[in-house]
Structure 1
C-alpha cells in the first residue's frame, strides 16, 4: 500500500543520484577574506552517528509524505527542506544538503542489501522460525555475503513498512531492470553477429536466389573448423554455468546449515536458562506455571 500522489515522477530527482561509497561530505570554505581568488579549502567532516542516521531517515519520510509540497518539490528543493528540518533537531555538527544527500544514498544502499537478505530468508519459509529468528538469520546472511556487519537496523525498522520507502525502492528496481534489459539486448545483437560462418553464407545465398557453388575441399575444411570452434566455445560456456550453479547451491546449503545451527544453539540456551532458574522465592501461581513448563520440556525429550 502506498500514498496517493498527483505526480508519479515526484521522486525522479532522487532516482538519478549515484550512490557514494564514503560516509563523509566535503565542503568548500574560503581560507580568508583577503584571499578571495585562492583555491577553496576542502574540509572533511566527521562520520555520522546512529542518532543522525535515524533522524535523517525520519526526516526523509516526513518530507516525502508532506501532502502540501510532496508532489511539486525538485531534487534541490527536497534536500534543502530536509536540511532545514535536520539542523533544527541536530544543529551540531553542521551538515549541508550535499552531505545529507550523500549520507542518505549510503544508507539506502546498505538497507537495500539487507532487505534482499530478509526476503531471501523469508522465501525459505523455515518451519518454526519466528520474526526474531528470521531477522537474526538475515543479519548472519548479510555478514557472510558482504563481509561486514549490518549497522543500520534501527533505520531499517523505520523505513521497512513505510509506503513511500517501498514506492521509492520499487522505482529504483524498475530503473535498474530497464537498464539491465538494454544491456541484454546489446549482448543478444552481438551474439547474433557471431553465428557460424556456414549459417551466414547459407542464409545470404538463399535470400539472393543464387545457386550455391560447390565447395572446395579446403573451404569445407575451414568452415568445419570454424563450426567446431564455435560449438566448443558454447559447450565450455555451458559447463562453466553449470559449475557456477553448483557452487552457488553449495553456498546456500552451507548457509542454511549454519543458520539452523545458530537457531538450535539459541533454543538450547533458552531451555537451559529456564531449567536452571530458581523460582522458590516466587508466588505459588508462578511456581505452578514454571513447573508445567518444565514438564512440557520433559515430555518433549521423552523424560518421565
Structure 2
C-alpha cells in the first residue's frame, strides 16, 4: 500500500489525509494472518525446564532483580542458556512451559497410580506401564521424556497449592466451646448470619466421614483401578502374541511359495535343456561328441518314461491299451 501524494493539499487537509492512510495501513497489517513458527527443539525444551527450576529454586533472584517479575526472570535465564532471544518470545516460552508441565503432571499421576497398585516392579517397568496408561487416557504418546528426566523429582514442588474452599475452611476452634459454655444473653441482639454460621459449622463437623471408611473406599477404588489396568495389559499382550503368530504364519507361507516357484523354474529349465538335446542332429558330429549326446538322449528318454509310468494318467492309458479289442 503506497502513500498518495499530498504535497498540493493544504497543511490541515494533508495531515488528516496522512492520518487516515496510517490507520488503513495498521488495519491492513493486523488483518494479515500470522505465520506459525518452527517447532521447539529438544534443547529448547530442556532449557525452558532448567530456567524454570533455576528461578524457582534461587531465592536471591527476587532480591537481586526486583524490577523483573517471575516470568521475566525465567525468560532472561532461558536466553542466557540458549542465546535465541530473537527466535522465541517470552509469550512463546511461557506457552511452551504450560504444555510441558501439563503433560508431565499427567504422566506423574499415571506413574503414581502404577506405583500404588504394582509393588515390586522395576523402575523401567513402572515407566513402561505409566506410558501405556498415559496413552490409554490421552490417546497419544507421552512426548516429553527428555523434560521428565529434569522435572520428575520437582513435580510436587512445582504443583501450585490449591486455594482453600470457603465451605470447608477451618474456623476458630474455640467457637464451639464459647457457644456451648456461654448461653446467649436474651438482652443481646444476635444476627441471623451468626446463628447460621454456627449451625453450619456444627453440621459440617458432625458430617465428616470417619477415617476408616474413607480408607476402605480408597482401597476399593485402587483395587478396581489395578484390576482394570491388569486386564488391559493382558488384552494388549494377547493381541500382540496373536499378531506375532499370524505374522510368522504368513512368513512361512511366503517362504513355501518361493521354494515351490524355484522348483518349477528349475524343472522348466531342465525340460528346455532336455528338449534341446533330444532335438540335436548328431550325424555331423565326431565319434566322441556323437556318443556323448546319444548317451544323454538315452538318459533323458528313460528318465521321462519312468516319470510317465508312475503318473496316474499313464497307468490309465496303459490299462485301456491292454484291454482294448483288436
Larger radius of gyration: 2
Which range, TM-score by smaller chain?
A: 0.3 to 0.5
TM (norm. structure 2) is 0.42
